[in-house]
């Protein structure tokens, strides 16, 4: 697990995060993005999810990387999120440090 | 229903899949060794499962999986396609339909069906192992396919679920899936519900292109899909990302061209799927247009403005063309209806222990879609009747010197503005003595009452005749032939029965092509105006004052050496006004019968938009509906079948009296 530092702004996602409420999740992440702090996502409480959630975080991750901002997960993806990543082919590719981001392979 | 409702789209598509699976299974019962049929059924089940999962029909997908597995074993030659297996899968299909349509389907009932399926598969497996060696399907060569696809941005919000698509691809073989995120917008401008992902899949499988395309069958119209064999892909590099909708199969294996052609029609916009209610709405609008045009025509006729008249004529022509076009759009081949009955006959044969063969003729005959929908129940009843009560058991048939297999023939043909549908069986025919006994028992006729053969057979259609398990009713359905007759008459049609003892029966249904707009002959009787369907009109003759006086009390005219009874509509409608000095007789025909209708004046032809009568007037037998005229008045539409029957009765009474 990644250790939290005080300057990281935590954003928590839990329970169901699917296309039905992805707009709300987007607003929460946008609010964090407006601040200049690095962002740490805690997705360990997500019990059901779909591609919209993974796509949103992928989009945020890429933009953060491009602008030199720090966006990390508090712990490796697991459960429902890992299942979507696996089925969706997010882990079969080694481009863009994707697997490193989601599985924190670089940190473990 | 919204046209964009993905669940409804799935249900419509699933309906077609069910029909194709069912036809395949029924054909397989006759040709169990037909490899193409086995493949077709398997592909249908496979697609149903995958698409069901994709659209959230998880219970359907899970249940279908078992049937698919069973047929996979048939495909591999491990299990024989026995009639028991076909029957078990057909039974399972009913359960699947319920799951797809959202009807109640108990899990326990599903489990029982699956238990039976597994039992049948096991015993069919033993049969196969005693027979030929397994087919060489398992040894089919492996292909490596590169599959690239992306979905429209609104795919997710419309209910498409890409993950089950990927799961299905994985089921086809060894699969490496890579998501492509190049098109995903920056977070700032992302619309989170949209789909901007694409996938690049490498698949090693014994399956061909068809199997891969089947995975995408429900979304193929809107997506971008590129399938290439890896060897080809290397020969023709990246240029080949082809939008399937624009140029499907641009790069593909030549030997699969015919299969691809069928798909072209579906994706290239040759046909458009439109919700039926939109057609109904459009038909209503055309009806209103015809009425408005009729008013315009009337106004123009009373005007001396030549320009107005010219425009009115132009609009009349356009409205007529639009009406005709609309009629054609609503027409569907009766094959859609006949196709359902193969399964019915299969089930009836199983339930009754009879050997029954169904033949169909004239399946390309077209009828208004509304009429077709409303014909389904009466036809089911008539076919059940023919199979259940008309046909004898194999032993009885052999004893009667007939072939063991009973035949039911379902035929359709167009005859003028009507379609004639006949249901013919080569069974025992109607037992007149039992009909008479039953009618007497139910008080429909007096004991010993004299009836001709036609009258006797007509008793079968009388309410109250067939409520018990007897000659024409079907156990468990609680529907009699009177209901069938009422339904047919509700379609402005007619039903006739002929039967030869020992040889079989023929039920003929005469159904108008459409229920919406007809060409009519507008007539006046007293102060009232009435419409006679033009398709029934044979000729018009004048009834001179002398003839009128001479025929009083007799009501018969001689037309080309034939006596034709006629009805004075003035009397029938109790018109108080004095008759016109130049009355006309409109001779109409229904089936083989003719009758003359005496009217005061023939006003001309009239495009008649049929409006149903209210429930309050439903029992007025002489009229089948009403229409609005150009001046805003209302004309009643005469029910020719009813009037001809009344004329024939009147004629019979006169003959009896003389």
Q: Classify burial at A3, counting beta carbons within 10 Å of its beta carbon; exposed 0-12, middle 13-18, buried 19 or more.
A: exposed
User: What's the order of all strands across the beta sheet hosting B174-180?
Assistant: B174-180, B198-205, B143-150, B224-229
In a domain, A4, yes or no: no
Taking the C-alpha atoms of residue B476 and residue B348, their distance in angstroms, rounded to an integer, is 13
Q: Has residue B580 got a pLDDT over 80?
A: yes
- Domain of A80: which CATH number? 3.30.750.24
Q: To the nearest whole number, what is the mean pLDDT of chain A?
A: 86
Contact between chains at B177 and A92 (C-beta distance less than 8 A): yes
In a domain, A45, yes or no: yes
Chain A touched by B573 (CB under 8 Å): no
Which residue, among B88, B26, B100, has the nearest Cα to B62 in the 3D structure? B100
Chain A touched by B192 (CB under 8 Å): yes
pLDDT band at B138 (very low <50, low <70, confident <90, very high): very low
Q: To the nearest whole number, what is the mean pLDDT of chain B?
A: 80
pLDDT at B439: 84
In a domain, B1, yes or no: no
pLDDT band at B553 (very low <50, low <70, confident <90, very high): low
B17 and B94: one domain?
yes
Taking the C-alpha atoms of residue A22 and residue A19, their distance in angstroms, rounded to an integer, is 5
pLDDT band at B331 (very low <50, low <70, confident <90, very high): confident
Nearest CA distance, A1 vs chain B (angstrom): 25
Average pLDDT score over residue span B151-164: 86
User: What's the order of all strands across the beta sheet hosting B528-533?
Assistant: B601-609, B517-525, B528-533, B634-638, B623-628
pLDDT at B210: 81
Taking the C-alpha atoms of residue B61 and residue B52, their distance in angstroms, rounded to an integer, is 5
Q: Has residue B145 got a pLDDT over 50?
A: yes
Query: A58-92, pLDDT tens digit by residue?
Result: 999 989 988 888 899 999 999 999 999 999 999 87
Nearest CA in chain B to A31: B188
Work out whether the CA dihedral B597, B599, B605, B608 comes out positive or negative: negative
- Domain of B167: which CATH number? 3.30.70.1110
B551 and B592: one domain?
yes
From B483, B512, B541, the end of a domain falls on: B512
Q: Has residue B24 got a pLDDT over 70?
A: yes
From B497, B512, B527, the end of a domain falls on: B512
pLDDT at B269: 45
Nearest CA in chain B to A93: B178
Q: Are strands B593-599 and B562-568 parallel, antiparallel or unpaired?
A: parallel
Average pLDDT score over residue span A22-47: 91
In a domain, B348, yes or no: yes
- Domain of B352: which CATH number? 3.30.565.10
pLDDT at B259: 36
Taking the C-alpha atoms of residue B320 and residue B607, their distance in angstroms, rounded to an integer, is 8
A25, A55, A96: residue with CB nearest B196: A55
Nearest CA distance, A99 vs chain B (angstrom): 12
pLDDT at B656: 65
Average pLDDT score over residue span B559-572: 84
Query: B596-628, pLDDT tens digit by residue?
Result: 899 999 998 888 888 877 767 766 777 878 888
Nearest CA distance, A21 vs chain B (angstrom): 9
B128 and B147: one domain?
no
Integer angstrom CA distances of residue B139 from B77, B142, B306 = 12, 9, 81
Q: Which domain holds residue A79?
A: 9-107
Contact between chains at A59 and B179 (C-beta distance less than 8 A): no
pLDDT band at B320 (very low <50, low <70, confident <90, very high): confident
| DSSP states along B584-610 | EEEEEEETTEEEEEEESEEEEEEEEE-
B469 and B496: one domain?
yes
Taking the C-alpha atoms of residue B598 and residue B541, their distance in angstroms, rounded to an integer, is 10
- CA B458-B461-B467 angle, to 5 degrees, is 135
Q: Has residue B570 got a pLDDT over 60?
A: yes
Structure tokens at B32: 């169990």
pLDDT at B197: 95
The percent of chain B in helix, strand and coil, each rounded to the nearest 5, is: 50, 20, 30
pLDDT at B651: 63
Average pLDDT score over residue span B221-228: 86
Nearest CA in chain B to A85: B179
In a domain, B82, yes or no: yes
Q: Has residue A41 got a pLDDT over 80?
A: yes
B176, B192, B196: residue with CB nearest A92: B176
Contact between chains at A19 and B199 (C-beta distance less than 8 A): no
B178, B190, B196: residue with CB nearest A92: B178
Taking the C-alpha atoms of residue B392 and residue B373, their distance in angstroms, rounded to an integer, is 30
- Domain of B50: which CATH number? 1.20.120.160
Q: Which residues contact B93 (CB under 8 A, 6 or more apart)?
A: B18, B21, B22, B25, B67
Query: For testing the chain A interface, which of B151, B185, B189, B190 should be mutated: the one with the most A CBs within 10 Å?
Result: B190
Asked if B115 and B199 count as a contact pair (C-beta separation under 8 A), the reply is no
B440 and B428: one domain?
yes
pLDDT band at B262 (very low <50, low <70, confident <90, very high): very low
Helix (H) or strand (E) holding B46: helix B35-54
In a domain, A65, yes or no: yes
Asked if B510 and B490 count as a contact pair (C-beta separation under 8 A), the reply is no
Q: Has residue B75 got a pLDDT over 50?
A: yes
Nearest CA distance, B375 vs chain A (angstrom): 43
Q: A with B: how many residue pairs have Cβ under 8 Å apart?
A: 76
Q: Which domain holds residue B237?
A: 140-267
In a domain, A3, yes or no: no
Which residue, among B452, B493, B451, B644, has the nearest Cα to B564 in the 3D structure? B644
Integer angstrom CA distances of residue A51 from A80, B179, B537 = 11, 11, 66
Taking the C-alpha atoms of residue B125 and residue B79, their distance in angstroms, rounded to an integer, is 4
B105 and B192: one domain?
no
**Phi, psi at residue B277, to the nearest 5°?**
-65, -25
pLDDT band at B308 (very low <50, low <70, confident <90, very high): very high
pLDDT at B473: 36
Burial B495-515 (b: 16+ CB within 10 A, else e): bbbbbeeeebbbbbbbbbbbb
Sequence-separated contacts (24+) of B445-453 with Cβ below 8 Å: none
B124 and B14: one domain?
yes
Instruction: Report the complex ipTM.
Output: 0.93
Contact between chains at B192 and A23 (C-beta distance less than 8 A): yes
Taking the C-alpha atoms of residue A80 and residue B349, their distance in angstroms, rounded to an integer, is 50
Contact between chains at A59 and B167 (C-beta distance less than 8 A): no
Nearest CA distance, B47 vs chain A (angstrom): 19
User: What's the order of all strands across the beta sheet hosting B356-361?
Assistant: B356-361, B406-415, B418-425, B504-512, B494-500
Give A81's contacts in chain B (Cβ within 8 Å).
Answer: none
B479 and B354: one domain?
yes
B378-387, B401-410, B474-483, B560-569: which range is least confident on average? B474-483
Contact between chains at B184 and A92 (C-beta distance less than 8 A): no
In a domain, A72, yes or no: yes
B417 and B470: one domain?
yes
Nearest CA distance, A83 vs chain B (angstrom): 10
Query: A2-22, pLDDT tens digit by residue?
Result: 555 567 889 999 999 999 899
In a domain, A31, yes or no: yes
B213 and B311: one domain?
no
* Region at B143 (left for phi over 0; alpha for psi -120 to 50; beta for the rest): beta
Q: How many structural domains compose chain A?
A: 1
Which residue shows structure tokens 């024989």?
B80
| DSSP states along B470-488 | SSS--TTT---HHHHHHHH
From B484, B512, B540, the end of a domain falls on: B512
Taking the C-alpha atoms of residue A43 and residue A75, their distance in angstroms, rounded to an integer, is 8
Asked if B504 and B426 count as a contact pair (C-beta separation under 8 A), the reply is yes
Work out whether the CA dihedral B437, B439, B442, B447 comes out positive or negative: negative
B625 and B652: one domain?
yes
Structure tokens at B84: 């028991």
Query: B163-212, pLDDT tens digit by residue?
Result: 988 988 888 888 999 999 999 999 999 999 999 999 999 999 888 888 88
Chain B touched by A101 (CB under 8 Å): no
Average pLDDT score over residue span A48-67: 93
Average pLDDT score over residue span B236-258: 35
Contact between chains at A59 and B163 (C-beta distance less than 8 A): no
Q: How many structural domains compose chain B?
A: 5
Query: B486-538, pLDDT tens digit by residue?
Result: 888 778 788 889 999 999 999 999 888 776 778 889 999 998 999 998 878 88
Instruction: Tell me how far apart the terminal alpha carbons of chain B are, to the nearest angstrom.
Output: 63
Burial A48-85 (b: 16+ CB within 10 A, else e): ebbbbbbbbbbbbbbbbeeeeeebbbbebbeebbbebb
Please state, for a pLDDT cut of 70, what percent of chain B lies above it: 84
Q: Are strands B634-638 and B537-543 parallel, antiparallel or unpaired?
A: unpaired
Virtual CA dihedral for A78, A83, A87, A89, nearest 10 degrees?
Answer: -10
B213-222, B372-381, B398-407: which range is least confident on average? B213-222
Higher pLDDT, B557 or B195: B195
Contact between chains at B199 and A89 (C-beta distance less than 8 A): yes
Give the Cβ contact number of residue B406 at 10 Å: 28
Average pLDDT score over residue span B42-46: 85
B6-15, B65-74, B291-300, B489-498: which range is least confident on average? B6-15
B414 and B523: one domain?
no
Higher pLDDT, B384 or B649: B384
Q: Which residues contact A16 (CB under 8 A, 6 or more apart)?
A: A46, A47, A48, A49
The winner for highest mean pLDDT among B36-45, B401-410, B412-421 is B401-410
In a domain, A91, yes or no: yes
pLDDT at B658: 60
């Amino acid at each position: 697990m990644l250790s939290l530092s005080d300057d990281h702004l935590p954003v928590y996602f839990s329970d169901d995060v699917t296309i039905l409420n992805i707009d709300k999740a987007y607003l929460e992440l946008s609010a964090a993005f407006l601040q200049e702090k690095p962002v740490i996502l805690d997705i360990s409480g997500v019990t059901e999810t779909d591609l919209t959630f993974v796509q949103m975080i992928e989009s945020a991750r890429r933009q953060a990387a491009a602008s030199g901002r720090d966006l990390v997960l508090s712990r490796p993806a697991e459960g429902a999120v890992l299942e979507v990543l696996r089925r969706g082919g997010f882990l079969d590719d080694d481009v863009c440090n994707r697997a490193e981001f989601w599985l924190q392979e670089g940190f473990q | 229903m919204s046209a964009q409702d993905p669940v409804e789209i799935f249900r419509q598509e699933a309906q077609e899949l069910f029909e194709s699976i069912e036809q395949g299974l029924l054909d397989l019962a006759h040709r169990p060794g037909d490899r193409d049929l086995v493949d077709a059924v398997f592909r249908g089940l496979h697609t149903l499962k995958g698409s069901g999962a994709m659209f959230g029909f998880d219970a359907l997908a899970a249940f279908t999986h078992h049937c698919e597995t069973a047929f996979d074993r048939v495909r591999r030659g491990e299990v024989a396609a026995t009639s028991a297996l076909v029957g078990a899968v057909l039974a399972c299909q009913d359960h699947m339909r319920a799951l797809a349509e959202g009807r109640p389907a108990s899990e326990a009932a599903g489990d029982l069906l699956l238990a039976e399926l597994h039992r049948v598969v096991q015993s069919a497996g033993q049969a196969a192992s005693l027979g030929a060696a397994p087919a060489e399907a398992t040894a089919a060569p492996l292909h490596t396919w590169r599959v690239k696809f992306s979905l429209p941005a609104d795919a997710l919000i419309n209910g498409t679920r890409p993950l089950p698509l990927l799961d299905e691809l994985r089921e086809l073989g060894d699969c490496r899936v890579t998501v492509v995120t190049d098109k995903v917008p920056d977070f700032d401008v992302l619309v989170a519900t949209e789909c901007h992902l694409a996938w690049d899949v490498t698949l090693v499988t014994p399956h061909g292109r068809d199997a891969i395309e089947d995975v995408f069958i429900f979304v193929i119209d809107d997506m971008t899909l590129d399938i290439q064999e890896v060897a080809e892909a290397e020969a023709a590099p990246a240029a080949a990302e082809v939008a399937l909708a624009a140029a499907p199969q641009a790069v593909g294996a030549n030997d699969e061209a015919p299969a691809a052609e069928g798909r072209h029609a579906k994706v290239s916009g040759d046909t458009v799927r439109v919700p039926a209610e939109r057609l109904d709405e459009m038909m209503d609008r055309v009806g209103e247009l015809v009425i408005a045009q009729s008013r315009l025509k009337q106004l123009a006729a009373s005007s001396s403005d030549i320009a107005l008249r010219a425009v009115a004529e132009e609009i009349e022509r356009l409205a007529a063309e639009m009406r005709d076009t609309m009629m054609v759009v609503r027409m569907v081949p009766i094959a859609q209806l006949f196709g359902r009955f193969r399964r019915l006959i299969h089930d009836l044969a199983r339930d009754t222990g009879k050997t029954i063969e169904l033949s169909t003729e004239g399946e390309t005959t077209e009828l208004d879609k509304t009429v077709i929908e409303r014909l389904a129940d009466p036809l089911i009843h008539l076919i059940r009747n023919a199979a259940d009560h008309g046909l004898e058991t194999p032993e009885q048939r052999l004893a009667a010197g007939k072939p063991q297999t009973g035949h039911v023939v379902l035929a359709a043909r167009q005859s003028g503005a009507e379609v004639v549908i006949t249901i013919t069986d080569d069974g025992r025919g109607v037992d007149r003595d039992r009909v008479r006994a039953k009618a007497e028992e139910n008080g429909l006729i007096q004991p010993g009452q004299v009836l001709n053969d036609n009258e006797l057979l007509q008793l079968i259609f009388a309410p109250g005749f067939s409520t018990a398990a007897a000659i024409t009713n079907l156990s468990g359905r609680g529907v009699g032939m009177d209901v069938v007759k009422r339904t047919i008459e509700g379609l402005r049609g007619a039903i006739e029965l002929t039967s030869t003892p020992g040889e079989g029966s023929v039920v003929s249904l005469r159904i108008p092509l459409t229920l919406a707009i007809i060409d009519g002959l507008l007539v006046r009787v007293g102060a009232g105006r009435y419409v006679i369907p033009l398709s029934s009109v044979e000729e018009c003759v004048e009834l001179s004052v002398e003839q009128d006086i001479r025929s009083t009390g007799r009501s018969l005219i001689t037309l080309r050496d034939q006596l034709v009874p006629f009805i004075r509509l003035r009397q029938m409608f109790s018109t108080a006004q004095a008759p016109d000095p130049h009355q006309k007789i409109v001779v109409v025909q229904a089936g083989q019968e003719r009758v003359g209708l005496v009217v005061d004046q023939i006003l001309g032809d009239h495009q008649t938009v049929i409006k149903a009568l209210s429930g309050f007037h439903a029992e007025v037998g002489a009229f089948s509906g009403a229409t609005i005229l150009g001046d805003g008045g209302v004309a009643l539409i005469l029910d020719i079948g009813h009037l001809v029957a009344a004329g024939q009765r009147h004629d019979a009474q006169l003959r009896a009296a003389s």
